[in-house]
Amino acid sequence: MEIPKHQQKLSTEQAAILEEVKKGTSVFFTGSAGTGKSFLLRRIIKAMKDKYGSEAVAVTASTGLAATHIGGITLNSFAGIFTSSEVAKKPANDFVNTRWVQTRALVIDEVSMIDAPLFDKVSTLGSTARNRQEPFGGIQLIVTGDFFQLPPVKHDQYAFNSKAWRKASLRSFNLKQVFRQRDPEFIAMLNDIRVGLLTDRYIQILSDECAAPVAYADAIEPTHLYPVNRQVNAENDQRLLRLELPEHHFTAHDYGSDEVLKHLLCPKFLRLRKGAQVMRVKTKTAELVNGVVGVVVGFQEDLSGPDRVLPIVEYSLMSGRKIVETVEWDKWERSDGRSTASRTQIPLCLAWALSIHKSQGQTIDRVRVDLNKIFAPGLQGKCQTYVALSRATCLEQLEVLNFTPQKVKVNMDVVNWTKTLERIDI
């Protein structure tokens, strides 16, 4: 039986970082995919809230999706930056200002996607609001992410190149122990691909051994990871239509601005049929976590609900255990500092396919990665191969399509900066 996540122990290196944070040190901790950055971050957030009180701990991430994984908001929203062109030097309104003053610890997750101008801008706003010269107005910073994963959306101006980063003197830690994968050969291959190293053996694994479809005994197919959203939507729509069974529609009850809600993985309109492959998009219990994949096995009458039925889903956990759940309506609340918005919806999305972008941060049990369009215009192609491959837990559960050695690329800015990074390896 799988140990529930909240009962799993921190490793020695994770525990050492937690202790440092508890002392009040500003830290940056990194590590390759699956080293437990998010796992540790959740424990740090809890410890910080116990220490300072919930109101004094600002939990933020670079993107709305990353923020939903840790129950936070985007860094922009926290800082009160509402348009990309905004050059404000002081907080937008009293609410944002008060929040800056109340905050004692600021958590920033998935920092690789934050660009240097934004990092500087937020720091300046913090200094102004708190009337202190130090970066971010002297707040304790807890920053995490992996710069070898997705870069800033707009351009390659990484946060580590910002003035605020240099001045903040973050104590840097590098997590080494990988938890997501167990096979030492797979771990070594991922660690090398992360920094752009490709051997003949890796090429053989990715182009030959992983070219075969993943074998499985139950009804849960590998989730297909694509670089382009259009590919994802097309596959999910086609697969749903192929199920020649009645369709049920679930329309979200939204309150507030669409802009605030657009990052939720949970769709505004959800179409389901019996047999649909779905992903739970909100954690409910230690086992029914955000990201667990299952199949709709039926619908239960619910005369009191707006759609008069509720989906019944059978999930297959990594331990091999199956859980059947009648999925009930759930609610998300989001605030961008100016307004609050909420969505009430069935916490599921179709999951035959997912974008590589949305898969960042997830562990996916069975994966089929299609690298065909990773360099499509507008995509941050260089690190997509690493992000996609590192979602898998083992080579046996990974199928790779369209691999060529040219698909492994790395940003030299990150390689060079990493060499200069003074960090404590525990």
Interacting residues with ligand ATP (CB under 6 A):
5, 8-11, 14, 31, 33-39, 146, 179-180, 361, 363, 390
Structure tokens at 91: 């907080």
Measured on CA atoms in the order 255, 258, 260, 265, is the torsion positive or negative? positive
* Residue among 33 and 276 whose Cβ is closer to ligand ATP: 33
Q: State the minimum distance, in angstroms, from the CB of residue 248 to ligand ATP.
A: 32
Which residue in the shown chain puts its C-beta closest to ligand ATP? 36
Q: Give the C-alpha separation, 404 to 400, whole Å.
A: 10
Q: State the minimum distance, in angstroms, from the CB of residue 271 to ligand ATP.
A: 29
* Residue among 241 and 415 whose Cβ is closer to ligand ATP: 415
CB 325 within 8 A of CB 319: no
145 contact partners, CB below 8 Å, separation of at least 6: 30, 37, 62, 108, 109, 110, 111, 112, 113
* Residue among 17 and 125 whose Cβ is closer to ligand ATP: 17
Q: State the minimum distance, in angstroms, from the CB of residue 4 to ligand ATP.
A: 10
Structure tokens at 188: 């070594």
Half-sphere exposure of 32 (CA within 13 A, CB side): 21
Half-sphere exposure of 120 (CA within 13 A, CB side): 12
Q: Give the C-alpha separation, 280 to 158, whole Å.
A: 32
* Residue among 39 and 329 whose Cβ is closer to ligand ATP: 39
Q: State the minimum distance, in angstroms, from the CB of residue 133 to ligand ATP.
A: 33
Greatest distance between any 2 Cα atoms in the chain? 64
* Residue among 14 and 77 whose Cβ is closer to ligand ATP: 14
86 contact partners, CB below 8 Å, separation of at least 6: 121
Q: State the minimum distance, in angstroms, from the CB of residue 249 to ligand ATP.
A: 33
Q: State the minimum distance, in angstroms, from the CB of residue 48 to ligand ATP.
A: 17
* Residue among 10 and 379 whose Cβ is closer to ligand ATP: 10
Produce one character per residue of 322-344: b if its CB has 16 or more CB atoms within 10 Å, e if not: eeebebebbebebbbbeeebbbb
Q: State the minimum distance, in angstroms, from the CB of residue 90 to ligand ATP.
A: 34
* Residue among 10 and 188 whose Cβ is closer to ligand ATP: 10
* Residue among 273 and 382 whose Cβ is closer to ligand ATP: 382
Among 300, 259, 263, 266, residue whose Cα is nearest residue 282: 266
Q: State the minimum distance, in angstroms, from the CB of residue 65 to ligand ATP.
A: 12
Residue 374 φ then ψ, to 5°: -65, -20
* Residue among 34 and 311 whose Cβ is closer to ligand ATP: 34
Q: State the minimum distance, in angstroms, from the CB of residue 392 to ligand ATP.
A: 11
Structure tokens at 310: 């509720």
Which amino acid is it at 423? R
Q: State the minimum distance, in angstroms, from the CB of residue 38 to ligand ATP.
A: 3
Under DSSP, the state recorded for 158 is B
CB 282 within 8 A of CB 347: yes
Which amino acid is it at 263? H
Among 68, 63, 28, 22, residue whose Cα is nearest residue 45: 22
Strand partners, 337: none
* Residue among 352 and 386 whose Cβ is closer to ligand ATP: 386
CB 279 within 8 A of CB 327: no
